[in-house]
Structure 1
Amino acid sequence: MSSPRELKEAFVSNLNGTSLGEVALGSFLAPLCLISRGLVLILYHLGKGVLPLPWIAHFVLDFSMIILPLVLSCTVLSDILHLVILGLAVVCGAVLCYIYRTKRTTAVKSFFQSRVQCDQVPFVTIFRVLVNVKTAISILAVDFSVFPRRYAKTETYGTGVMDFGVGAYVLANALVCPEARRKEVSGSKLSQVVKQFMSVWPLVILGLARLVSVKMSGYHEHVSEYGVHWNFFFTLAIVRVGASVLLALFPVNRSWLLALLIGGLYQVTLEMSGLKYSIIHNDDRTGGFLQANKEGVSSVVGYIAIYMAGVQIGLYIMRPRTQVKEWIRVIWNLLLVSAVLYTTLVLCQASVERVSRRMANLPFCLWTIAQSMFFLSCLATADVILVFMKTVSGCSLVSSSWYPCRKEASASEEKMEKKVEGLCLIQAVNRNQLLFFMLANLLTGITNVLVDTFNSSDYISVCVLLSYMFINSFAMYILHLMKITVKFW
C-alpha cells in the first residue's frame, strides 16, 4: 500500500498539460478584473462617493476583485472559465457604455492625442505582480484535487499553466532589470557582474533552506521536475548571474539575438548529443551532482534565453512615451510579435519537438515569450481602457493605472493620487515581491503539514486557498501601509 507521500508525488506526476488556447484564454481574466475594479471605483465616484476609501475597504475591494477571481478560476470555475470571461466582458462593456453615454465630453475626440503620466509603466508592474500571485496560488492549489490536473506542471512534454508560470517568472524579472531600464551604473562592467553575483545570495540561501527542509521533513517532491537537490531558487540565481555576464560582454540592444542563438544552439545540442535521452529516459541519478540534477542544470540554458528575450522586451516597453496613441502602437506590436512567435512555435512543434518545461527547450522558450507578450498586450489594453474611462468620467483615483496628464494639476490632486497608490494591493505586493514569494512557499509547507490536501473537499480546498492568499496579501498590505520594504541585500 502506498504511503501518503507516495500518493502526493503520484498526484503531481505524469501529467500532460492543456492546450495552447486554454492558457491564452486565461490571459483575458486578470485584465477584465482590473477593468471591473476601476469601473466600481468610477461608478462610486459618479454616485458622489468620496475617494479614496478607508484602507480596509480598498484592501477588501482589491482582494475581492483581483485575488478571489484568480483563485476561483483555477479551482471550481476552471471548467466554465470561458463563460466567466464572456460574462465579465459583457458586464464591463455595458458599464463602459453607460458611463460614456452619461458623461459624454469633448475630451473623447482628442483621446488618442492625449497624454499620460509616464513615471512608470503600470501594466509591467501588474504583469510582474500577477505572475507572482498566480505562482503563489498554484504552488499550494496543485496539492488539492480541486485544481485541474491539466493546469499542473507536465512530466516531459506539454503546456500546463504552471509550466508557463515558471518561464514567465524569469521573464518578469528581466523586464525591469537595470539593463532593460537603461539604468546608469557606476564602475566597470566586471564590478557590475560581481555586484550581481553578490546580490543573488538570498536566492541561494532560500534554495538551500528549501532543500534542507524538504529532505528533513519528508515533504513530497517531484524529482523529475528539477532533480534530487536542485530547485527553482537555484535556477533564478544562476540565470541572473549568467545573464549579467552576457550583458556585460555584448550590447544590451542585441539581447534578442543572444536569446535566439542560445535557444537555437541549446536545441541543436539536445538533438545532436545524448542530453535529451539522458534527461527523459535515463532514470539513473547515481553519477554525481550533474547526473542527479540533470533537469535543473540543463534547463538553466533555456531560462537564460528567456531572460535575454525579456531584457529586449523591457528595453522596448520601458522607452519613454506619453501619448496614448504611442502606447496603442506598443500594444499592436506586442500582439504582432506574439503572433509571429506562436506561428514559429507551431512549426517548431511539428518539425522538431513539442514544448518541454522539463528541458526548457526551444519550443518552451518560444511559447513562454509569445504568451508573455500576449498577456502584456492584454494588460496594456486594460490600462488604455481605464485611462479612457478616467478621461470621460473625470475620476482619476484608480490605482495601478495611467493618470491622464492635466494642464493644471493641483497639489491636492497629486497628493490624492499618491495616497490611492499607497492603498493598492498590487503596489503592496510589488513593494516586497521576493518576500511575498518566500512567505507563499513557507505557508505552502505549513498548510501541507496541517491539512490533508489530498482528501479535502472542493469547498474546504477553496476556503483554505482563500485563507492562505488572504494571509499572504494582508501581510504585504500592512508592510505597504507602513512603507516598509524588506530588502537587506
Structure 2
Amino acid sequence: MDAELKHRREQFIHGNHGSNGPWEVFHLIIIAQFSHILSESFVFALPALPKTWPIVSLIIDFTMVYSPLIMAVTLCHNHITLILITILVLILFNFAIYVKSNSKCISWQNIGQQSIQYPDTKRFPYLSNMMSSLLMATCLAIFAVDFPSFDRRFSKTEMYGWSLMDIGVGCFIAINGALSPESRLINSKISLIERFKKTFRSSLPLIVIGLLRLVATKSVNYQEHVSEYGIHWNFFFTISFVKILSSILCALLGEQINLYTVSIMIMIVHQIMLKTFGTEFIMDPSNRSLNLFAANKEGFISLPGFISIYLFFVQLGRNYIPKREKVNELLSIILQLVIIGLQSLAVMFAAYHLLEPVSRREANMPFICFITCCACLNIVIELVYFIWIQIAKPNFHYESSVFSVINHKGLLIFLIANLITGLVNLSIDTMMVNNVMSVLLIHLYAVVLTFSGFLLDKIFYLNK
C-alpha cells in the first residue's frame, strides 16, 4: 500500500471519542438485534411467503437483517431513534396480524406453566441469535468503517468513550464466556493438563488466524491503528489468550467457587493497577519501542479486564443457560438479568464519574460494567422474543435464512469479511467514495458475504 494513502487512512481513524453517550450505543445494538425479529415477524404475518415466493422472502430477509443497521450508521446516523421506532412498529404490526388471525389458537391462560419447546437440542436460540446479531454487526462495521459515510463516532475510540465497535469487541468476549465449555461444565472432570490441551487446541485456529493477519498486514504495508491493541497484537490474540487463561483459572478454582466474585475481584485489582501506573503507561507514546510488552501494551494491559468479562459470563452461563421447562422459569431469568444489567449500569456511571471514563483500550471498570449491561440487555431481548414464540406459536421453528448461515458458519464468515475488507482497501481508495455509492457497496458486500455463507453451508453439508 502506498505510504501516503496509508498515512491518510490512519489519520482518518485517529482521535475518535465515540458517541454522545451510552444510550445511542444501546439504540444501535437493539437495532442490530431487532433485525432478525423483524424478518421473522413477516413470516408470522405471512406464513406462506417462504414457500410461495422464496425469492421475495429471501430479499425481504436480507433487507430486514442488513439494511436497518447499515442505514443507521451511515446516511441516517442522525435518525437512529426514528429507525428503531419504525422497526418496533413494524414488528408489532406483523405480530398483531398474526394474533388477529390466530386468536383462537393462542392460549393466554396459565402462560407461566406452558412448556417450552426448543428447536434444537444442542442450541439455545436466545444465545445463538445474540451471537449472530453481534457477528452481523461486526462484519458490517469492519467493512463500512473505512468509508466516509460511516459516522466516526461509531468507530473504535482512541482512548475513552462509548462506541459501537468497542461494544462489539466486549460483547463478543461475553457471549463466548456464556457459551464456553466452562459455563456448561464440559471437561470439568478431566485433569488440568488435559483441559489446557483441549482449550489450546480449540484456540489454536484463532492464534493461527491472528498470526496470518499480522504477517499479511505487515507484508502489504496495510493501515494500522497501533493504539487499538499495539504494533503486533490483534483481537484474535486477545480472544485466544482470554480463553486459555480463563480455562486455567476455572480449572484451578474448581466448580464450587463463585466466578462472579472472582470476576469482580479481578476487575477491582485491574482498575487499581490502571490508576496506579497503567493509564500513564498506555498514554505515553514514547515508550512503545522499549520492548515487546511496551510495543503491544494495549493488548497485554486489557487482558485482565477481558478475562473479568469472560469469567462473569461463564458463571452467568452456569446459572441461566441450562434448559428451562416452563415459561415462568424464563421470566424469572429475565428479571434477574434485568437486575444484573441495571446494577452494572449504576456501577458504570459511578466509576465513570469517580474513577475515569469508559475505555476499551484499557478494558477498565466502567467498560467492563458497560459490556455486562449491554450483553444482559441483548439476552433479555432474545428471551422476550423466545417467550413470545412459546406463547403464540410453540412449534414455530422458522429461522431467518441470513441468520441461519451466520449461526452455522460464523467464524468462516468473519474470516471472509476480513479478507474482503482487506482486498477492497487494497483495490480502491475508500475515503474518496461518495456516501450513496459507499452504502451500495456495503450492501453488495453483505450480499457477497451471505452468498459465501450459503455456499460454505452447502459444501460442508455435502461433505458430511
TM range (shorter): over 0.9
Paired residue for 1:39, among 38, 41, 45?
A: 41
Q: Which runs of 5+ in 2 are unaligned?
A: none
Counterpart in the other structure of 1:267: 271
The total of aligned residue pairs comes to: 456
Paired residue for 2:253, among 235, 250, 265?
A: 250
Counterpart in the other structure of 2:9: 8
Counterpart in the other structure of 1:410: none
Counterpart in the other structure of 1:285: 288
- 1:167 is the counterpart of 2:170: yes
Post-superposition offset of 1:205: 1.5
Whether the aligned pair in 1 keeps the contact of 2:389 and 2:396 (CA below 8 Å) is no
Residues of 1 paired with 2:461 and 2:409: CA distance? 9
Residues of 2 paired with 1:20 and 1:215: CA distance? 35
Residues of 2 paired with 1:61 and 1:357: CA distance? 35
Q: TM-score with structure 1 length normalisation?
A: 0.88
Does 236-245 or 251-260 show the bigger shift?
A: 251-260
Instruction: Kindly provide the CA deviation profile for residues 61-104 of structure 1, in whole angstroms up to 9, marking residues without a partner as x.
Output: 43222122222222122211101111222232233333323321
Residues of 1 paired with 2:272 and 2:36: CA distance? 42
Instruction: Kindly provide the CA deviation profile for residues 402-448 of structure 1, in whole angstroms up to 9, marking residues without a partner as x.
Output: xxxxxxxxxxxxxxxxxxxxxx3322212222211111111110011
Residues of 2 paired with 1:93 and 1:129: CA distance? 22
Post-superposition offset of 1:50: 6.8
Counterpart in the other structure of 1:98: 97
Post-superposition offset of 1:210: 1.1
- 1:448 is the counterpart of 2:425: yes
Residues of 2 paired with 1:90 and 1:378: CA distance? 16
Residues of 2 paired with 1:385 and 1:82: CA distance? 24
Name the SS for the 1:178 alignment partner. Answer: coil
Distance 1:55 1:431, change over 3 A: farther
Whether the aligned pair in 2 keeps the contact of 1:38 and 1:386 (CA below 8 Å) is no
Counterpart in the other structure of 2:28: 26
Instruction: Kindly provide the CA deviation profile for residues 280-321 of structure 1, in whole angstroms up to 9, marking residues without a partner as x.
Output: 134332111011111111111111111111211211231220
Whether the aligned pair in 1 keeps the contact of 2:50 and 2:57 (CA below 8 Å) is no
Instruction: Kindly provide the CA deviation profile for residues 337-377 of structure 1, in whole angstroms up to 9, marking residues without a partner as x.
Output: 10011001101111111111111111111111111111211
Identity among equivalent positions (%) equals 28
Instruction: Kindly provide the CA deviation profile for residues 370-413 of structure 1, in whole angstroms up to 9, marking residues without a partner as x.
Output: 1111121122222223333325xxx724227xxxxxxxxxxxxx
Distance 1:200 1:55, change over 3 A: farther
Does 193-202 or 227-236 show the bigger shift?
A: 193-202
Distance 1:302 1:290, change over 3 A: same
Distance 1:224 1:345, change over 3 A: same
- 1:361 is the counterpart of 2:360: no
Whether the aligned pair in 1 keeps the contact of 2:263 and 2:311 (CA below 8 Å) is yes
Whether the aligned pair in 2 keeps the contact of 1:145 and 1:456 (CA below 8 Å) is yes
Counterpart in the other structure of 2:141: 138
Q: Which runs of 5+ in 1 are unaligned?
A: 401-423
Q: TM-score with structure 2 length normalisation?
A: 0.92
Distance 1:387 1:74, change over 3 A: farther
Instruction: Kindly provide the CA deviation profile for residues 115-134 of structure 1, in whole angstroms up to 9, marking residues without a partner as x.
Output: 12233321100111111111
Whether the aligned pair in 1 keeps the contact of 2:113 and 2:326 (CA below 8 Å) is yes
Residues of 2 paired with 1:104 and 1:66: CA distance? 28
Residues of 1 paired with 2:398 and 2:210: CA distance? 38
Whether the aligned pair in 1 keeps the contact of 2:153 and 2:163 (CA below 8 Å) is yes
Residues of 2 paired with 1:149 and 1:70: CA distance? 15
Post-superposition offset of 1:211: 1.2
Post-superposition offset of 1:26: 2.0
Distance 1:214 1:486, change over 3 A: farther
Name the SS for the 1:223 alignment partner. Answer: coil
